[in-house]
Structure 1
């Protein structure tokens, strides 16, 4: 049955692709304005490009993360372990074998075309930190090859651009409430000023959201978000300003092994209650925390003249927060600088202990005691077991904070000049300065028998480092239109300087230059008919060296660290786009070669050129890479006047090209889906909307050695909604009610993670929403 369904949908894609048409908006059902937006849109580009549509926005609850709306596009895999995407720690994105997650940041992300500042857990921020779903107009995905002007230091596998909505031209107040399972609730308010000056309008919005963890009975998330945007259009100029603030406290989900999933697929091995045994309570969910606050602001000036288009946009971003965990012991520190409040700055661990007497003196376990604990992490030694201590022994534990802070400011500038009727020259630049701070301190848990409340004064600040990254990207592009044929070629170059400072003054400052070679792009579009176009493109993508390479002493284990180069990926796309007033189809074939992968290698690893490393030493090298090839296809069909059928297909083959450490040449890339199929049926008429969508993800290898094959799964979402238009109720512009069900069949499955350890996918979630506009 499943094979028949898959083959049938694939045949539908092939049939649609064989027809003839182009990139145009639907005219077939102009009597229903909402239906006109259902078609999946794609820009006329020389590379694979897809954008979300109204149906994809309707499929997700208003309370969901904006990352979730792109999951049905071809080539995309999104996994969010938290309820409604409420846990950044467990969020994973994958495109063509490239990943954004805990261990990799290989996909660019921009907000209204401006850089998000990377997607790393430690000081980064994904799009959900900047945008509420109600303020999202669309998300644009460039799989593999992005626009030459796209500003990112990590876009090896393409770029995702999240575009925010503009203010309404008429004054309006919007209020909504969402309620759902796991005590999820959300309040959203937005006020649009309307045109308060000539050509000028603005909006202000605020939301508050909270939910419990979907696993167990403890932990959850709270989030506050504010946004404001102003737009002024004056003759050939458009001026835009936007500010967002996001403050969240998330309790995390933990990765598990494939064997643990098979044993119990509903539990991530974090616990709900305090036992008073520190070794067990290290997995108490409320002690696993992500706290983040993000401010992001930009202003943009855009000019569109007869022959010249120009834009400039300065921006500012401030990120602060911390990651929490409760280590099941207290450290005894040697060395360092003791402050007046008793905090030790620097130094190292001389010993650690779990139990003490009533005066705080560390105790050793009773001689000869062999009693051990079996949970968690395979069990603890006798020193962790209270049975190995005399009555009256006091448990001790720490509360560890890893603090993150970042300030970024920069600007983008772009100019395009039309030379006659066929030639356009485009040049631009992106500059950014980023200062990131990271430090870790340890606090004493006051009474491990009753909870995780901790002493506000840290007993040890383990390290304190600052990183500064300065980026300059320059580019130039020429576009020539020769009748039905459009040719495009360009070059760009990155200049990236990275420095690290040890704020204790114990370690030498470090610096790396991460300048790229000249990177080339080229492409062509040929309009076979008014309805059918063929495209092809090539681009060299670049990811600068990240500060993690020089973060700690691991980068200094050998003084002969060779010069590193930034990572590069050569992307080739070829395909066609087809659309008429009732059907649209796209098919893309791609080949990607990822080179110069930065990998940490140790003495004894099977890597050429590291004979100088002695036992215990290691260093970072440009060794390893990935080769990906595949097909991405989508089709959208309007039929029976008010119905739409959408499907997307992804076939991807990603392999490692070199043997390094755990990676074996020829093995499949860990956690990269090889087969994905989406089918969505939706209905729009007279204010009624409804739909059902299914996504099948085939089996994947989860580890570097390709010994763990993760099971395939199919997720089904369903939704229904009804809108009353203006005039039905006096004084009300609109009323909307909706019900969204995610993972309708309550499927147990493994989502993203890191090689060898995986996050559980969230179970069934039901959300109801009521919105008023007046």
Structure 2
């Protein structure tokens, strides 16, 4: 696949001339305000910064159903690719996100996420939590994406490719009660309630909200999602001080979607190879969808005190996060455990697998297949051995299986503090810190399926607790920045440094404590903005981004065969942005060029993998090394306009080229980065007048390589969304202030496509979803 960058730039430029989007602000930043009717409107524009950034607007929210994940709202911004395999983003396992060749997926966490400027606690599947775990779409004010060169104060140590800040809405100034109902395909149903107190004390207001969401899996006839979410927020404005407190709780049980190969997609693009019924054959039933589960509960709370004086500003924000959860799977065998400590309830702690068995006699004694039987199953995964096939056993043999639980738990406590001092009218000094202590547990236990012939119900008492580990991560970040204004020119320069200490403990006490230091060098950032005219500015920025070493590095290295922790450095990325921003009363446009060099990529290298052409590992060895790298370059653009009073047009363009810079393991120098889109084009046409809103939006994603070897080309696709809604604010029914009805159709043409995944295996994108919503405000 060869990308003609010049041709695509010309195509994109022509498209951008033809399409644009509404912009409601001529100044900086995206804000939310309440109009005279009490309806919250999201006002959006790129912030006046020395780096590329974009923010969502109300039209992007209208495009998505109220029940949708907040991650879906950012998908039309330049540089962004979001793929969610489940209806309304209802499966964290299949959710992926890409920015400029950096990804958040099952295998990578390279983009930072913050909630009201506070860290989300990483985005990985095993103990992480993306923004959709913290926010309902109705409570989202906006999402601000800083692609590449992010704000120096951003509290994340995985933000190699930038940061996404999800900003929650503030309470209304007047008392109000909301109630809304959403219904859709696949038995989707969602209730949402919110109560705004109005002013309960001088300058003080609050809200409480709750939602319940259920939906079936859109593939097949089994499995689905249930989600309960609660949020509360209070804001008090007292002279120069603003005090904010927020609490969210999210409890979710999701059945997963599975990755498939490109050949499987071409064979049947509507099936992810998980099944809907129990066959009584454990090898086949290991892909029974209800046995693939993600269970997560998240509590997140913070308080924030902000002071704004004549020349001095100060903010401090302590926070607390508790995450508990489980990942489920149904292995088609029971494990024969050797060693370990047997507890009084029969559970074996520790030890190792001496083998496994798949069928027993009536007394529970493991059986071997009939000698000479060669019959094998053909599904799934290409089929199993004769030991998995009931045809290779005498009549009366009993199939057995396990229900495997991987338990995740994490508690984070931390705080951020930021201060800014203005020296005269031209110079502002800013400094701040971020401190956090994360205490994460991960364990795995195996339960016997009670009767594999009839279902997946399991014995509550585990027969084996395979491992139990604890990880402590202490993070301290400090930064300082100086901003200087000389007429139309603004200059910015700053430094930042991370101190990250990681410790691993074996809760069984069988392995020594492992520790690893992951401090950064001093990280530099710089930038400039120059106002060419009142409406046009040019900006340029540079930053060194940093990702600390993850605790999985220690987990993988602490073993009897290789107990030593490697001498590693954290991953870094040098980001360069240069671009233009234009805005007036009706038109906005942005154009950004960027170059990113990702260094010190941590890669697991096995024996036989050549590093720099040299194979130097001893037989049987494997280790993590700083041997990887990526370089990305490209162009991002957006244009927006109000026209004909009630019409808005929006378009964004992304042209990206990301390549690996070193050869190691499966990665080949010069190959394109797997799963990174190279060409994206968005066009949106919307209408709003007298309470009626409607729109249609299309996004085209070009071909991508899906694997490291660049042998699998994932086909391009175009998705179309449409929506229509009507709001009545005239008290047509006594006691009801507002009635709103809407209909959203995502993937209008029911396009079959592959979304995200991991290199070589991909998730099917969700099919057409039609959702109706009714909202009443009292």
TM-score by length of 1: 0.97
Q: Is the 8 A contact 2:294 2:325 kept in 1?
A: yes
Equivalent position of 1:709 in the other structure? 713
Question: What's the offset of the Cα at 1:582?
Answer: 1.0
2:309 is aligned with 1:305? yes
Residue 355 of structure 2: which of 332, 348, 351 is its match? 351
Matches within 5 A, 1:601-640: 601-608=605-612, 613-640=617-644
Runs of 4+ that moved beyond 2 A: 3-10, 12-17, 21-26, 30-40, 552-562, 608-613, 726-731
2:272 is aligned with 1:268? yes
Q: Is the 8 A contact 1:22 1:577 kept in 2?
A: no
Question: What's the offset of the Cα at 1:726?
Answer: 4.0
Return the alpha-carbon distance in structure 2 between the equivalents of residues 7 and 239 of structure 1. 49
Q: Which digits, 9 at most, give the CA deviation of each residue in 1:10-56, with x for residues without a partner? A: 31535899xxx994389xxx999999957741100000000000100
Equivalent position of 1:242 in the other structure? 246
SS of the equivalent of 1:94 reads: strand
2:39 is aligned with 1:10? no
2:441 is aligned with 1:399? no
Return the alpha-carbon distance in structure 2 between the equivalents of residues 5 and 187 of structure 1. 44
Question: What's the offset of the Cα at 1:186?
Answer: 0.2
SS of the equivalent of 2:143 reads: strand
SS of the equivalent of 2:639 reads: strand
Q: Is the 8 A contact 1:70 1:76 kept in 2?
A: yes
Q: Which digits, 9 at most, give the CA deviation of each residue in 1:502-547, with x for residues without a partner? A: 1111112111000000000000000111100000000000000000
Return the alpha-carbon distance in structure 2 between the equivalents of residues 613 and 31 of structure 1. 66
Return the alpha-carbon distance in structure 2 between the equivalents of residues 697 and 770 of structure 1. 32
Question: What's the offset of the Cα at 1:400?
Answer: 0.1
Equivalent position of 2:203 in the other structure? 199
Return the alpha-carbon distance in structure 2 between the equivalents of residues 263 and 559 of structure 1. 45
Q: Go from structure 1 to structure 2 and tell me whether the alpha carbon gap of 1:554 and 1:679 turns closer, same or farther (over 3 Å shift).
A: farther
Return the alpha-carbon distance in structure 2 between the equivalents of residues 15 and 179 of structure 1. 36
Equivalent position of 2:163 in the other structure? 159
Residue 120 of structure 1: which of 121, 124, 129 is its match? 124
Q: Go from structure 1 to structure 2 and tell me whether the alpha carbon gap of 1:605 and 1:213 turns closer, same or farther (over 3 Å shift).
A: same
Equivalent position of 2:591 in the other structure? 587
Residue 546 of structure 1: which of 509, 531, 550 is its match? 550
Matches within 5 A, 1:634-649: 634-649=638-653
Q: Go from structure 1 to structure 2 and tell me whether the alpha carbon gap of 1:601 and 1:4 turns closer, same or farther (over 3 Å shift).
A: closer
Equivalent position of 1:754 in the other structure? 758
Q: Is the 8 A contact 1:180 1:765 kept in 2?
A: yes
2:35 is aligned with 1:24? no
Equivalent position of 1:423 in the other structure? 427
Equivalent position of 1:700 in the other structure? 704
Return the alpha-carbon distance in structure 2 between the equivalents of residues 166 and 697 of structure 1. 35
Return the alpha-carbon distance in structure 2 between the equivalents of residues 364 and 653 of structure 1. 54
SS of the equivalent of 1:13 reads: helix
Equivalent position of 2:3 in the other structure? none
Matches within 5 A, 1:281-680: 281-553=285-557, 557-558=561-562, 561-608=565-612, 613-680=617-684
Q: Is the 8 A contact 2:42 2:142 kept in 1?
A: no
Return the alpha-carbon distance in structure 2 between the equivalents of residues 313 and 770 of structure 1. 36
Return the alpha-carbon distance in structure 2 between the equivalents of residues 463 and 210 of structure 1. 33
Unaligned runs of 5+ in 2: 1-5
Unaligned runs of 5+ in 1: none
Return the alpha-carbon distance in structure 1 between the equivalents of residues 156 and 560 of structure 2. 28
Return the alpha-carbon distance in structure 2 between the equivalents of residues 673 and 206 of structure 1. 37
2:48 is aligned with 1:41? no
Q: Go from structure 1 to structure 2 and tell me whether the alpha carbon gap of 1:221 and 1:415 turns closer, same or farther (over 3 Å shift).
A: same
Residue 82 of structure 1: which of 72, 83, 86 is its match? 86
Q: Is the 8 A contact 1:16 1:585 kept in 2?
A: no
Q: Which digits, 9 at most, give the CA deviation of each residue in 1:747-767, with x for residues without a partner? A: 000000000000000000000
Question: What's the offset of the Cα at 1:473?
Answer: 0.2
Q: Which digits, 9 at most, give the CA deviation of each residue in 1:155-209, with x for residues without a partner? A: 0000000000000000000000000000000000000000010000000000000
Q: Is the 8 A contact 1:39 1:584 kept in 2?
A: no
Return the alpha-carbon distance in structure 2 between the equivalents of residues 276 and 213 of structure 1. 22
Return the alpha-carbon distance in structure 2 between the equivalents of residues 477 and 262 of structure 1. 52
Question: What's the offset of the Cα at 1:729?
Answer: 3.4
CA RMSD of superposed structures (Å): 2.1
Return the alpha-carbon distance in structure 1 between the equivalents of residues 135 and 19 of structure 2. 35
Which sits farther off after the overlay, 608-617 or 298-307?
608-617
Question: What's the offset of the Cα at 1:609?
Answer: 9.6
TM-score by length of 2: 0.96
Equivalent position of 1:168 in the other structure? 172
Q: Is the 8 A contact 1:333 1:350 kept in 2?
A: yes
SS of the equivalent of 1:596 reads: strand
Say how many residue pairs are matched. 767
Question: What's the offset of the Cα at 1:258?
Answer: 0.1
SS of the equivalent of 1:409 reads: strand
Residue 73 of structure 2: which of 55, 69, 81 is its match? 69
Return the alpha-carbon distance in structure 2 between the equivalents of residues 386 and 320 of structure 1. 38
Equivalent position of 1:57 in the other structure? 61
Matches within 5 A, 1:130-149: 130-149=134-153
Return the alpha-carbon distance in structure 2 between the equivalents of residues 249 and 64 of structure 1. 16
Equivalent position of 2:771 in the other structure? 767
Q: Which digits, 9 at most, give the CA deviation of each residue in 1:577-616, with x for residues without a partner? A: 0011111000000000000000000121111497652111
Q: Is the 8 A contact 2:101 2:673 kept in 1?
A: yes
Q: Go from structure 1 to structure 2 and tell me whether the alpha carbon gap of 1:730 and 1:9 turns closer, same or farther (over 3 Å shift).
A: farther
Return the alpha-carbon distance in structure 1 between the equivalents of residues 593 and 334 of structure 2. 56
Return the alpha-carbon distance in structure 2 between the equivalents of residues 446 and 270 of structure 1. 22
Q: Go from structure 1 to structure 2 and tell me whether the alpha carbon gap of 1:46 and 1:347 turns closer, same or farther (over 3 Å shift).
A: same
Equivalent position of 1:734 in the other structure? 738
Q: Which digits, 9 at most, give the CA deviation of each residue in 1:322-362, with x for residues without a partner? A: 00000000011110000000000000111210000011000
Q: Is the 8 A contact 2:83 2:765 kept in 1?
A: yes
SS of the equivalent of 2:699 reads: strand
